[in-house]
């Protein structure tokens, strides 16, 4: 029988980098939390190991065949764990009554539906899946408000902003004396690479981030700065503001995770080592604090902090993301879908690195955006954008 006094946590995307970091933090505080459910896409071996260590009530594989293999493995070693499959299983464990907190760490559009299910069920949603807000910002924020869910950002930048924001920021910046958000970005591995060399960038070079350990897709997004563009969109929804009040600042050391500027001239910053366990522990314990396992920041070793403005000729994806947010409706969902297809095509060596923004811009031009009031419309435009992106990739594939 599970201890009802412990806080139950579902981890969506347990086998990814955020999921693994979450389980590391939870493992340090077994007297406070228990793992209710773990989910993964298709990594049976890793999820099985996690299940045997953390003993959740449920395990979910998005892939049905993988779920069968996991169930067979667990029948022998942990028969008490119920194995579920597919989107229905993901939605079920996101809304379980015994799950107080839900870590939403499924990468990409695949995470939208279960994350929305957690919000609608009134959970404390620890949001690492930025696509949920990029694709369905108003719909998602309305679900949070209507269900009295608690939404806490896990992206290091948004968590930093949250820590630097005053209470009541949702009522508007003017009422709480905030002038703007300063959203930091490392600039990725190609911050100083000559522009003419970008066309020959390889997937191996693109995923080699200088500061953070991340998955392949998000590493490419960091290199193109689409990740920062998506974060601008996410910040607008999280903090009830506009792109005009979000300034992206290149900061290659990744020590200042973001800043908030006030109307009196004060600028509050959150600093720390680049380790995702810090924002994860903050969101799990909020409004308290607890040990994350992250080492202390050595300011003497850091020695200097550098800042510069992003070059939109080098990072056209950042411009495209801001334009999509300003256009409204499903434009951001179209942007996100086109980017996912383009990045995967680059990783498969079907298109050049420099073709990623070309594909996205072409898809935005040819795909009609609609109002984003319903999940059905958002998913329909997402599908249309993916089909358009695949056509654009095919055009470039024959020439590359």
Burial grade of 227 (CB within 10 A; 0-12, 13-18, 19 or more): buried
pLDDT value at residue 218: 87
CATH superfamily label, 7-153: NAD(P)-binding Rossmann-like Domain (3.40.50.720)
Positions of CATH 1.10.1740.10 in the chain: 161-397
Length of the chain: 400
Residue 287 has pLDDT above 70, yes or no: yes
Q: Cα separation of 114 and 120, whole Å?
A: 10
313, exposed or middle or buried, with CB in 10 Å at 0-12, 13-18, 19+? Answer: exposed
What are the phi and psi torsion angles at 60 (to 5°)?
Answer: -125, 130
What mean pLDDT is predicted for residues 9-21?
A: 96
Which of these, 64, 55, 123, lies nearest to 88 by C-alpha position? 64
DSSP result, 329-380: TTHHHHHHHHHHHHHHHHHTTSS-TTHHHHHHHHHHHHSPP---SSHHHHHH
Averaged pLDDT for residues 378-385: 96
Nearest to 21 by CA among 50, 45, 44: 50
Query: Of 46-60, 129-143, 199-213, where does the model show the most confidence?
Result: 46-60
Residue 271, pLDDT > 50, answer: yes
DSSP letters of 216-242?
Answer: HHHHHHHHHTHHHHHHHHHHHHHTT--
In the chain, ranges of CATH 3.40.50.720 domains? 7-153
User: Interior CA angle at 335 toward 258 and 269, to 5°?
Assistant: 5
Q: From 44, 42, 209, 222, select the one nearest 130 (Cα to Cα).
A: 222
Task: Give CA–CA dist 27/34, Å, rounded.
Answer: 9
Burial 314-331 (b: 16+ CB within 10 A, else e): bbbbbbbbbebbeeebbb
Q: How confident is the model at residue 210 (pLDDT cuts 50, 70, 90)?
A: low
The per-residue pLDDT for range 297-318, each reduced to its tens digit, is 999 999 999 999 999 999 999 9
Q: Is 116 helix (H, G, I), strand (E, B) or coil?
A: helix
CA dihedral (22, 318, 237, 179) positive or negative: positive
Helices 375-397 and 112-120: crossing angle, nearest 10°?
A: 160
In the chain the first and final C-alpha atoms are separated, in Å, by 59
Res 4: pLDDT: 65
pLDDT for residue 1? 41
pLDDT at 47 exceeding the cut of 60: yes
Query: Are the beta carbons of 11 and 39 closer than 8 angstroms?
Result: yes
The DSSP bridge pattern shows strands 82-85 and 58-61 to be parallel
Check residue 213 and give its pLDDT.
Answer: 61
Reported as a pLDDT band with limits 50, 70 and 90, residue 212 is low
pLDDT digits (tens, 9 = 90+) for 233-262: 999 999 999 999 999 999 999 999 999 999
What average pLDDT does the structure give for the chain? 95
Topology (CATH level 3) of domain 161-397 = Rna Polymerase Sigma Factor; Chain: A (1.10.1740)
Rounded CA-CA distance 70/47 in Å is 8
For position 216, what pLDDT does the model report?
A: 87
Give, for 157, the enclosing helix (H) or strand (E).
Answer: helix 156-164
pLDDT over threshold 50, residue 335: yes
Quick check: 398 pLDDT over 80?
Answer: no
Q: CA Rg, the chain, in Å?
A: 21
Question: How confident is the model over 114-169, as pLDDT tens digits?
Answer: 999 999 999 999 999 888 899 999 999 999 999 999 999 999 999 999 999 999 99
Question: How, if at all, do strands 7-12 and 33-40 pair?
Answer: parallel
pLDDT for the residue 34 = 98
Cis preceding-peptide flag for 167 (omega within 30 of 0) = no
Per DSSP, what are the bridge partners of residue 152? 126
Half-sphere exposure of 136 (CA within 13 A, CB side): 29
pTM, full prediction: 0.92
């Amino acid at each position: 029988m599970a201890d009802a006094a412990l806080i139950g946590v579902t981890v969506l995307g347990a086998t990814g980098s955020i999921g693994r970091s979450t389980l590391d933090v939870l493992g340090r505080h077994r007297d406070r939390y228990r793992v209710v459910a773990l989910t993964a896409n298709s990594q049976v071996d890793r999820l099985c190991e996690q299940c045997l260590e953390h003993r959740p009530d449920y395990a979910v594989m998005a892939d049905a065949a993988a779920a069968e293999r996991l169930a067979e493995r667990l029948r022998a070693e942990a028969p008490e764990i119920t194995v579920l499959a597919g989107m229905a299983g993901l939605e079920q464990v996101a809304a379980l009554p015994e799950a107080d907190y839900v870590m939403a760490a499924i990468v990409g559009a695949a995470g939208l539906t279960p994350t929305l299910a957690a919000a609608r069920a009134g959970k404390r949603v620890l949001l690492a899946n930025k696509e949920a807000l990029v694709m369905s910002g108003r719909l998602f924020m309305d679900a949070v408000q209507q269900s009295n869910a608690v939404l806490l950002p896990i992206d290091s930048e948004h968590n930093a902003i949250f820590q630097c924001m005053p209470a009541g920021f949702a009522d508007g910046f003017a009422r709480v004396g905030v002038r703007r958000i300063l959203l930091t970005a490392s600039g990725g591995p190609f911050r100083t690479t000559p522009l003419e060399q970008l066309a020959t960038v390889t997937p191996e070079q693109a995923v080699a981030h200088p500061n953070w350990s991340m998955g392949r897709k998000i590493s490419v997004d960091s290199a193109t700065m689409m990740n920062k563009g998506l974060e601008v969109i996410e910040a607008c929804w999280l903090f009830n503001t506009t792109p005009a009040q979000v300034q992206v600042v290149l900061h290659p050391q990744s020590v200042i995770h973001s800043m908030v500027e006030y109307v009196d001239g004060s600028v509050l910053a959150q600093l720390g080592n680049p380790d995702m366990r810090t924002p994860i522990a903050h969101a799990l314990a909020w409004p308290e604090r607890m040990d994350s396992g992250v080492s202390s920041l050595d300011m003497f070793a850091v020695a200097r902090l550098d800042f510069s403005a992003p070059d939109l000729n080098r990072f056209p994806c950042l411009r495209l993301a801001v334009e999509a947010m300003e256009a409204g409706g499903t434009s951001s969902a179209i942007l996100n879908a086109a980017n996912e297809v383009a990045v995967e095509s680059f990783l498969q060596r079907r298109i050049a690195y420099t073709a990623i923004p070309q594909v996205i811009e072409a898809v935005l031009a040819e795909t009609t955006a609609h109002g984003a009031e319903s999940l059905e419309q958002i998913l329909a435009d997402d599908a249309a954008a993916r089909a358009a992106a695949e056509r654009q990739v095919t055009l470039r594939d024959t020439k590359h």
